[in-house]
Amino acid sequence: MSEINGKVLKHGEQTRTMHWMHMITFILLALTGIGFYFDIGFIGGIFGGEANASLVHRWAGVVFTVGPALYILLNFERFARFMDTIATFTKDDFGWLKTMGGYIPFLKGDVPPQDKYNAGQKMLGHLIIIGCLLMILTGFPMWLWRGVLPAAFLAFCYNIHFWVAVILILAIAGHFFLAAIHPKSRVEFASMMMDGYIDAEISAHHNEKWFNSLQEVKE
Ligand code: HEM
């Protein structure tokens, strides 16, 4: 029998809206990007031809950039708290990494208590922020200044854009697997993509430090 009842709010409405928008635009960007790179006519066909796929890619890139920028402006304190959490690595985080949070069967040992985000999620947070910035910083010059930039710099942008896309697609596939499919953590998906709430008991176990810092538990 559970000793901790009820639910706690983990992700606010604006955070969830931003996450939805970033997920949809990321899927569009990754799909059309893969279509360009491998010259896959079928993917172009989904968008009504290559030229349209290119337009979808560029304008999805605009939403992908403006959405989080607006979110940060409107929720600066919340964003600063998020950055503070993912930038803080204590011995408990290193302990999580040593045991890989208990996700890998042959890595034995107790998993230390975690913050609102565990050490793996903290590292992913950095990777996503740096990766998205690189995609934006290379994508816009490839679109807007391709006629004026030196060919070598443009080629450099294309290379960074491609290789960072590969890393992000693989990292986000792993993130999706853990957050939506893995039995140990799949409740996270519903919390971020639906009402923002998560079972208090699960939270007390997976995010003990954060849970202990909460004042209210919604019954
Ligand atoms: C994480 C998000 C993104 C992913 C996964 C992605 C993926 C890709 C890939 C794989 C390519 C093909 C690269 C090559 O041929 O070497 C590409 C091309 C391109 N990307 Fe992105 N991209 C993203 C974000 C952006 C953003 C934010 C912009 C800015 C508007 C952008 C603008 C472009 C442009 C202009 C091209 C050249 C193809 C074209 O002219 O339509 N991308 N992208």
**Per-residue pLDDT tens for 102-111?**
999 888 889 9
If one residue of 142, 146, 164, 166 were mutated to test the ligand 1 pocket, choosing by the most ligand atoms within 8 A of its CB, it would be 142
Angstrom CA distances, 29 to 50, 159, 160, 163, stand at 14, 16, 15, 14
**Per-residue pLDDT tens for 136-147?**
999 999 999 999
Phi, psi (5° rounding) for residue 197? -95, 155
Is the CB of 29 within 6 Å of ligand 1? yes
Dig out the tokens for 158 from the structure: 């294309």
Q: How far apart are CA 10 and CA 49, in angstroms?
A: 41
Asked if 130 and 163 count as a contact pair (C-beta separation under 8 A), the reply is no
**Per-residue pLDDT tens for 12-24?**
999 999 999 999 9
Q: How far is the CA of 152 from the centre of ligand 1 (A)?
A: 17
Q: What is the mean pLDDT of the chain?
A: 94
Within 8 A by CB and 6+ apart from 119, the residues are 89, 92, 93, 94, 96, 97, 101
Q: How far apart are CA 169 and CA 183, in angstroms?
A: 22
Is the CB of 142 within 6 Å of ligand 1? yes
pLDDT at 1 over 50: no
Local structure of residue 9 (DSSP, 8 states): E
Phi, psi (5° rounding) for residue 9? -80, 120
Asked if 58 and 36 count as a contact pair (C-beta separation under 8 A), the reply is no
Is the CB of 7 within 6 Å of ligand 1? no
Dig out the tokens for 92 from the structure: 């408990």
CA 158 remoteness from chain centre:
23
Question: Which atom of ligand 1 is nearest to 64's Cα?
Answer: 27
Residue whose tokens read 């538990």:
217
Q: How far is the CA of 80 from the centre of ligand 1 (A)?
A: 28
Which domains occur in the chain, in start order? 7-12+73-213 (1.20.950.20)
Nearest to 62 by CA among 21, 90, 91, 31: 21
pLDDT at 218 over 70: no
Angstrom CA distances, 136 to 88, 114, 132, 147, stand at 26, 32, 6, 18
**Per-residue pLDDT tens for 161-185?**
999 999 999 999 999 999 999 998 9
The amino acid that residue 11 corresponds to is H
Dig out the tokens for 72 from the structure: 């940060």
Phi, psi (5° rounding) for residue 125? -55, -45
* Helix residue ranges per DSSP H, 38-150: 41-46, 50-74, 76-87, 91-99, 119-144
pLDDT at 123 over 50: yes
